[in-house]
Structure 1
């Protein structure tokens, strides 16, 4: 059984394909991963997504074949988020399934 800390976010199939295509097309080295976090705070908080290298305060996860990087300070905020993709860019939703 996989715990939420083993797989803190989920990645939809369309997003996984887009992430892998972007990494390949832009020849981004394998050490990079998709950083998931939050920017700002309170009501003005927004999602932070981008390709990055892990740092000393980061946790690195393999979620559906995607290398996910989350700063430990952001972990509680992103727990249970689902990363998707639609024309125009990536989406992040935090659903009710996060409170298991």
Structure 2
């Protein structure tokens, strides 16, 4: 079981946490929503909860609740710039389908 980050994602998270002045890493999860059933959640985490699974890649901690891990195992988190837009991208090998609007997915 593993969650990994590309160099670009790790650099972005590290820079943001330093600017923010606090935080232990990012919290990754899934929520039920959208056309296809599941959507990714990503937020900066200030502390590790007792139930969190903790992965570390390129010096960045990724915290995941055990329920979400089943849907996210093997995911690579990337940070990309496409034209004027920039943001995190999830490369999840378990993803079977994604809705047309790109907001949700199915495993």
Task: Using structure 1 for the length normalisation, give the TM-score.
Answer: 0.78
Task: Give the match for residue 35 of structure 1.
Answer: 27
Question: Structure 2 CA distance, aligned partners of 1:10 and 1:61?
Answer: 8
Q: Extract structure 1 runs of 4+ deviating beyond 4 A.
A: none
Question: Structure 2 CA distance, aligned partners of 1:90 and 1:11?
Answer: 10
Q: Is the 8 A contact 2:52 2:63 kept in 1?
A: yes
Higher strand share: 2
Task: Give the match for residue 60 of structure 1.
Answer: 54
Question: Structure 2 CA distance, aligned partners of 1:70 and 1:33?
Answer: 11
Shift of residue 44, structure 1, vs aligned partner: 2.4
Structure 1, gaps ≥5 residues long: none
Q: Is the 8 A contact 2:13 2:25 kept in 1?
A: no
* Per-residue Cα deviation, 1:4-51 (whole angstroms, up to 9, x for no partner): x3xx1110011110010000111124xx22111111168221111111
Q: Choose the corresponding residue for 2:93, options 85, 92, 95.
A: 95
Higher helix share: 1
Question: Structure 2 CA distance, aligned partners of 1:90 and 1:84?
Answer: 6
2:61 counterpart of 1:79:
no
Structure 2, gaps ≥5 residues long: 95-107
Pairwise CA RMSD: 1.7
Highest CA radius of gyration, 1 or 2? 2
| Corresponding pairs, count | 88
2:47 counterpart of 1:49:
no
